[in-house]
Each structure stands twice: as structure tokens, then as C-alpha cells.
Amino acid sequence: MKAVMRLAGVVCAVGMTLGMSAGSSADTAPAKAPGATQQVKIDNFTFAPNELTVSAGTTVQWVNRDDIPHTVVSDDKTTFKSKALDTDDSFSYTFTKAGTYPYFCSIHPKMTGKVVVQ
Amino acid sequence: MPKEKKDEILYDHNHDGIDRRGFLKCMAWAGTGTFCVMKGGVLNSFSLSRLEEFDPSAMKGELSFAQISDSHMGFNKPANTDVVGTLKAAVGKINALKHQPEFLLHTGDISHLSKPEEFDTVDQILKGSVAKQVFFVPGEHDVIGDDGKQYLERYGKNTQSGGWYSFDTKGVHFVGLVNVMNLKAGGLGSLGAEQLDWLDKDLRGQSASTPVVVFAHIPLWSVYPQWGWGTEDSAQALGYMKRFGSVTVLNGHIHQTMQKVEGNVTFHTATSTAFPQPQPGKADSPGPMKVPAEDLRKLLGITDVKFKRGKHALAIVDSSLEENNQSAQYD
């Protein structure tokens, strides 16, 4: 019984790994090597990818392609806070510590996103 | 027997000037200076040619003001590359009103990016209006990056620390509320405990028969929460207003006119003088709506408001920048 269970556990783990590397939904992106700048596009009142996973040390650059200004502000309002980004303006922040960083647009607070740092 | 005209009220059962068969007429008149209200799920139209049945000598004590909103000075994208021109046209329209407004209410998003030159330009343009004074409340575009510090320096001299205030004129109590500060992730507009406390105390001093006009940027009712078109804690504020016989709530933010009546409270949103936005749910997002150039001015405009003593509701007339001034008159 125990052997069967262990095998099942391994199969599950493998399945999950495959799923993670193969699956790349429109909303989330897998972590890339540290050093590369990752981009989040702002358009149509949306942050895309909405949830971005990066390695510690990665710089994330938000670029506003919308025809209305937006901001990028961490939920705690202190960790990072951009000034108003008009069309084609950008804001960058380097994530050094692991953790989950939810953020939003302080002008249109219904716009939310998340950076997960591993 | 008065000659029956197309816009005459036919059935005035409650003697309040409301025709309860006005649906189709109202839809046909939308934008030409008619006030339509939803009351208990029924759309009623005010035929404005009948509303003001007073003789000119009784004009004393009347109050007339205009609301403009969402000038977004600094916006320069295809939806409107000349927000200066359209704001000037709005001022021109105000100046041409037959009964000139005593003051203007600007319900916010004065600027587009909270830049000093944007505020300066709007102030300059508004100086050209006949109105003696302009009262402001901020929009979320006016408090970007500095928690409203610049807005308060410019427009907060006679207000409470957070920018809210009240004043009385000709027996009407006006309250300017701020619901665009300290917005939280995923949230809607917000008044906050301090302001609500102030509002409670401010209204307590007023008699229930005093007409109250409340103005704030984001709608105080849930127009479309998915797009942030609502205020989280407005229910508490509206609770303080419940005992009053006549409450008018004037908002902006959604760049289109919308009305709602709930008991003694009439809610009204104004068009922008800068660019239109889509109706709730009719687009992916509430961004600037591009329309053919020849249609733009039909979707921008001003709101003319009159208070007549003894009348339950204020008369609110929206007119687009394109309309012939005559259609906006109603006496």
C-alpha cells in the first residue's frame, strides 16, 4: 500500500512540474533567470501579465500603453509607488526580497496585479 | 383649455408636473433639455415647458447654478485633442444661459495628471464665465502622487482638512464631499470615517425642510462597481440625508448623464467637457470613448440647475455642447 502511495505521490509531483512549465496562461508567467528585466504591459485598465513570478533580483518594468494615465502602487503604499504614468511612460522596480507583492493603480483602484518573487 | 403641444403634460395627477406616460417622449428628448427620472421603476419625464409656471416678479429667492465636470485639462489623445476648446465651449454655453448661474460647481477631474499648468489653465478659462464663483471637489486625477496636497493648496482654503465643506445660499445647503483620497486596492470611491463623522454633525444642524445639494466626484450610488463607478461607504452618508425633504446628489466621473431617484434623493451625474466614456458594460474598460469628430460635442456638455422655493426637486437640465441654446431654456 505504501509503495503505491509513494508512486502516486511522485506521479503527481511530475505532473505538476510539467503543468507549470508547459502551461502559460495569458494571466501568469513563469519565473525566468534573474538579471533579465520583466515587463508588465498596462492597457485597457489591465496589468498584463496580471500575476508575474520572478526570481529575486529581477527588475520589473511596467509600461503604460493605455490612453489614460495609471500608477503602480504596492498595496501597502510604501514598498513601491510610481508617479503618474501617461501613455508610453514606464516605471521600474527591482525586487530583491522573496515574497508576494500585490499592487494596484491608485487612480483606478479596481485595477490590481501581483508580483511573486521567489 | 391650453392648446395641446407635443411636449405638454397630459396627465398631472399628482400636481407635480410629472407625466407618467413620458417614456417614449423622454427617450426622444434625451439631450435636448429634459429631466427624466426613474421613480419606483417607472420612467417619468419632466416637461420643462410646464415646470416653471411662475411669473417673473416672483424671481426673488430663486437660485440658479451650473455644474461642469471632468475637464481633464492635459488630456490630448484621439478621443479629444482639444480639451481647452471644449471647456471654453462649455463656458460659452454657460454664459449664454438665459438666467445666468450665480456660481459653478466643478465635480472634479479638473486636471488630467495633477500638473500645476493644467490647474492654471482651467482656472484661467473659468475666469471667463459669468458665474461669480466656482466651487470644486477633486477627482482622482487631481490628487495623483501627492495625496491631494496641491489640490488642497489651490482649492482647500475654506474647507476641512480633507477638502470637504459645506455652505448655504438662498436657503439651500450645499455639501462638497471628497471620495477620491486614500483609495484601496480593488476598491471603489471612499469617504472615510472622519468625513462621515463631519457630515453627520454638519447635517444635524439643518432643518429637514432645507433643500440639500451634495456634490462629489465619484457617484454616491452603485452605477457600475466593476469599473469603480460607486462609493464604498456612501450608504452611511445617505443615511444622514434620509430625513431631508429634498436631496440632490450631483456627481461626475462617468462622463455621461445618468439619473436615479430614491425616495427624496435625486442622483444625477454630468457629462464631461473633455471626452465621453462608454455606458456600463458596453466596452472592455471605462476609458475615453472615441466617436466621429462630428459627434463629439453631442456627448460633452454642462448641467444647469435651478431651485424654486416650494418645489420638491431641483430642476436639472443637461445640454450638450452641440445644442442650440434655445432648447436648454425652460421658462
SS3 of residue B226 by DSSP: helix
A contacts of B226 (beta carbons < 8 Å): 110
Look at chain B and report how many structural domains it folds into. 2
Amino acid found at A114: K
Question: Do residues B43 and B68 share a domain?
Answer: no
Q: What is the pLDDT of residue B132?
A: 86
Of B79, B183, B286, the CB nearest to A109: B183
Question: Do residues B212 and B155 share a domain?
Answer: yes
Please check whether residue A47 is in contact with residue A38, taking contact to mean a CB–CB distance below 8 angstroms: no
A contacts of B77 (beta carbons < 8 Å): 67-68, 87
B227 CB near a chain A CB, below 8 Å? yes
Q: Which among B238, B254, B249 has a CA at the least distance from the CA of B203?
A: B238
In the predicted model, residues of chain B with pLDDT beneath 50 are: 1-61, 326-331
Please check whether residue B256 is in contact with residue B279, taking contact to mean a CB–CB distance below 8 angstroms: yes
Q: What is the pLDDT of residue B52?
A: 46
Question: Do residues B181 and B83 share a domain?
Answer: yes
HEC profile of chain A? CHHHHHHHHHHHHHHHHHHHHHCCCCCEECCCCCCCCEEEEEECCEEECCEEEECCCEEEEEEECCCCCECCEECCCCCCECCCECCCCEEEEEECCCEEEEEECCCCCCCEEEEEEC
Question: Do residues B130 and B207 share a domain?
Answer: yes
Question: Do residues B39 and B79 share a domain?
Answer: no
How far, in Å, CA of A48 to CA of A60, rounded?
A: 12
C-beta atoms surrounding A26 within 10 Å: 8
CB pair distance less than 8 Å for B140 and A86: no
CA distance A30 to chain B (A): 24
Of B145, B183, B184, the CB nearest to A83: B145
Question: Do residues B8 and B89 share a domain?
Answer: no
pTM (2 decimals)? 0.80
**Residue-wise pLDDT tens for chain A (118 aa)?**
444 444 444 444 444 444 444 444 446 666 655 568 999 999 999 999 999 999 999 999 999 999 999 999 999 999 999 999 999 999 999 999 999 999 999 999 999 999 999 9
In a domain, B288, yes or no: yes
Q: In this structure, what C-alpha cell is assigned to residue A67?
A: 490612453
In a domain, B144, yes or no: yes
Q: What is the pLDDT of residue B62?
A: 74
Q: In this structure, what C-alpha cell is assigned to residue B310?
A: 416650494
Could you give the C-alpha distances from A84 to A53, A68, B104, B185, B214, in angstroms and in order? Answer: 24, 10, 28, 16, 29
Q: What is the pLDDT of residue B48?
A: 37
Which CATH number do you get for residue B85?
3.60.21.10
Q: What is the pLDDT of residue A31?
A: 60
Q: In this structure, what C-alpha cell is assigned to residue A21?
A: 512549465
Question: Do residues B117 and B255 share a domain?
Answer: yes
Q: What is the CATH class of A27-117?
A: mainly beta
List the single best residue of B72, B81, B113, B223 to mutate versus A (max A Cβ within 10 A).
B113
In a domain, B201, yes or no: yes
Cα angle for residues B138, B143, B144 (degrees, 5° grid): 145
Q: What is the pLDDT of residue B57?
A: 41
A contacts of B284 (beta carbons < 8 Å): 44-45
In a domain, B176, yes or no: yes
SS3 of residue B146 by DSSP: coil
Q: In this structure, what C-alpha cell is assigned to residue B89?
A: 465651449
B contacts of A107 (beta carbons < 8 Å): 140-141, 144
Report residue B111: phi and psi, to 5°: -105, 170
How far, in Å, CA of A106 to CA of B245, rounded?
A: 37
Largest separation between any pair of C-alpha atoms in chain A: 62
List the single best residue of B70, B72, B183 to mutate versus A (max A Cβ within 10 A).
B183
pLDDT digits (tens, 9 = 90+) for B121-154: 999 999 999 998 999 999 999 999 999 999 999 9
B245 CB near a chain A CB, below 8 Å? no
CA distance B63 to chain A (A): 35
- Tally A–B CB contacts below 8 A: 62
Complex ipTM value = 0.78
CB pair distance less than 8 Å for B185 and A86: no
Q: What is the pLDDT of residue B99?
A: 81
Q: Which domain holds residue B19?
A: 1-51
| Lateral strand order in the sheet of A112-117 | A28-29, A51-54, A112-117, A99-104, A73-74
A contacts of B183 (beta carbons < 8 Å): 106, 109
Question: Do residues B82 and B9 share a domain?
Answer: no
SS3 of residue B63 by DSSP: strand
How far, in Å, CA of A83 to CA of A69, rounded?
A: 10
Q: Please name the residue of chain B whose CA is at the shortest distance from the CA of residue A83.
A: B145
In a domain, B99, yes or no: yes
Q: What is the pLDDT of residue A13?
A: 43
